[in-house]
Structure 1
Amino acid sequence: MATLRWLRPTARVLATLLVTTVLSWTPTAATAEAGIVRASAPAGAGGRGPAGFVALSDVDHTILQDIRYDTYHNFVGRPIVGYRDPICILTRQAAEGLHRAQVAAQSLGYSLKVYDCFRPQRAVDDFVRWAERLDDQRMKAEFYPRVDKTVLFADGYIASRSGHSRGSTVDLTLVALPPRPQRPYLRGEPLVSCFAPRWQRFGDNTVDMGTGFDCFDPLANTLDPRITGRAMDNRLLLKQVMTDAGFTNYASEWWHYTLAGEPYPDTYFDFPVARRAVTGG
C-alpha cells in the first residue's frame, strides 16, 4: 500500500488566476502557428478534436464518469451548450496522468470519479450568459445558497475563460471501492444546500468532501479550516494522489486539478464534447 504524506492546513490558501489569450477553433487545415490553432472541421459541425486529445476511457476505463454538464444536475439546471455526450475528453498527457492517479487511488481502496474534463469555449460562454440572467435562480438553493448571483463574476465563481478549455484540467472526486450504486437525479426534485451534512445532500456514491461538487461557497476552498475530520482527510487524500501524478490543485475548489506542464497552456479549444470528436465516428 502506498504511503501518503499528510499535512494539516493551518490557513486558507488563496487562488491564483491565470490570464491568457483565447484562441478559436476555426475551419481550416490542421496546423498550429503563432499560437493559433486551426482544424479540419468547423466547431459547429461536430468535427474531430485536434490531434493529442483522447477519450479518457480509452486510456483508463476503470475511472468512473459522472459528466454533470451533460445533465440537469448542475448549477445552471440544464444540459450545457457543447456537451453532446457524457464523455470525458482530455489531452493524452492529462489522461495518462489520471491513469497514474487511479492506480494509486485503487491501491488505497478508492477510485477516481470525474465530473468534468475538457470544456469547450462555447460551454464557458453559456455559463457567462446564464450568470448575466439574474432572474434565473432555479438551482440557487443547492449550488450557491449564500452567494448573490450579482457577485458571481466578482467573486470568481464564473469567468469568461476556463482552464478546462485547454484540455488538461479535470474536476473529480473519490469513490470508495467497490462503488455503491448511485441513484439518478430527478429533474425538479427538492434541492439541498451543497454544504449541508453529507447525509442530507444529493445521494451520490462519493466519499464526503465537506461540500458537493460545484459548491459556490468558501467552504469549497481545498484547505478551508472549517472543514475537519474525515472530510478534510478525504480532500488531502485526493490532493496527494493527484499531486503525485503531476497535477496542481486550484485552491478555491477541492475538485479542480490541472496537469503541470500542460501541452496547450495558452490555447482555448471549442470543439464539442462528443464521441465523434475523438473517434471520428
Structure 2
Amino acid sequence: MKFKLFFLLLLLAFGITAQEQVMPRDFVYVKEVIPDIVLEIRYAGENNFTGKPVNGYNKPVAILNKPTAKALAAVQEDLMEEGYCLKIFDAYRPQRAVNSFIAWSREPGDTIAKQDFYPNLQKKNLFNLGYIATKSGHSRGSTVDLTIIDAHTHKEMDMGGTYDFFGKISHHNTEDISKKQKANRAFLKRLMMKNGFRPYAEEWWHYTLRNEPYPNSYFDFPVE
C-alpha cells in the first residue's frame, strides 16, 4: 500500500513537472499582441546584475498572460499617439530563474556585474532590501519591466537611472534626479496606472497588472 501511494505521488510529481514546461494557452508572446513594441530582454544575455544569461531564458522574447498583454497594448497606443513607444526589459520570468538568483546571492565571490548594478550594496542583502524576491510577480505573468523610447530613433527617455540598478536612485520618491527626469517617470507611471497597472515604489520600471488573473500562481515554463 505504501509503495502504491509513493508511486502515485511520484507520477503526480512528474505530471506537474511536465505541465510546468509548457506555456499555458492564456499566455502570449507580447510581439504577437503589440508588433511594434521593442524588446531588450536583459536576462537572456549578459547585460544584467548576474553578468551572464539566466537559467530559463532560452530566447530574448517577452511573454505575458493575455489580460496583461492587452492592457499593455493600450499603453502602447497612448504612447504612439505622442511619438513614443514601449521597450520591455523583462516580462514573464520562470521560477527557475528566480531560484538561480537565490543561488547567485549565496556566492559571495561572483560579483562580475557589481559596479554597474549594485556598487554600494552587498549582494547578500539584495533580497532583504526588496530588490529581488524569492517569489516574483514576474512568474505570474502579470509584471513587466519597461521604459519609454522615441518611436523613430529608439532613444530611451531619460529616467534618471538605469534599469535594474539597485539603489535609492531607482525609487519613485528619490530626490537625486532632475525635474525633467521626475517628469519622465511620472509620464510612464501615469500611463501605466491609467491602463490598469500598479507601480512598485523601489523600481521606476516595474509594473504589475492590478487585477491579475493568477495572483497566487508561480509558473516555471522556460522563456523560448
TM-score (norm 2): 0.91
Q: Write the distance in 2 (CA, Å) between the matches of 1:225 and 1:72.
A: 30
In 2, the alpha carbon distance for the partners of 1:140 and 1:206 equals 23
1:215 paired to 2:165: yes
CA distance in 2, matches of 1:257, 1:268: 17
Change (3 A) 1:254 1:141: same
For 1:261 and 1:26, locate their aligned partners in 2 and report how far apart those are by CA, in whole Å.
30
- Rounded to whole Å, the distance in 2 between the matches of 1:88 and 1:215 is 21
Give the residue type in structure 2 aligned to 1:167: G
Unaligned runs of 5+ in 1: 1-24, 29-37, 181-204, 275-281
Residue 100 of structure 2 is matched in structure 1 by: 126
Rounded Cα–Cα distance in structure 2 between residues aligned with 1:218 and 1:27: 43
**Secondary structure, counterpart of 1:133 in structure 2:** coil
CA contact (8 A) 1:111 1:176 kept: yes
The code of the aligned residue for 1:256 comes to H
**Structure 2 equivalent of residue 70 of structure 1:** 44
2:69 to 90, 95, 104: 95
- Classify the secondary structure of the residue corresponding to 2:31: helix
Question: Which residue does 1:143 correspond to in 2?
Answer: 117
Shift of 1:42: 4.8
Match of 2:131 in 1: 157
Contact 1:131 1:158 survives alignment (8 Å): no
What is the percentage of aligned positions where both structures have the same residue?
42
Question: How many Å apart are 1:157 and its aligned residue?
Answer: 1.8
Q: TM-score, normalised by structure 1?
A: 0.73
Segment of structure 1 superposing worse, 230-239 or 113-122: 230-239
Q: Which residue of 2 aligns with 1:35?
A: none
- How far is the alpha carbon of 1:149 from its aligned partner? 2.0
Q: 2:215 aligns with which of 244, 249, 265?
A: 265
The one of 83, 107, 116 aligned to 2:57 = 83
Alpha-carbon distance between aligned partners in 2 of 1:67 and 1:148, rounded to the nearest angstrom: 25
Q: State which of 156, 174, 179 in structure 2 corresponds to 1:229.
A: 179
**Unpaired stretches in structure 2, ≥5 consecutive residues:** 1-11
| SS of alignment partner, residue 236 of structure 1 | helix
* Shift >4 Å, 4+ stretches: none
Name the amino acid aligned to 1:105.
L
Which shifted more, 90-99 or 145-154?
145-154
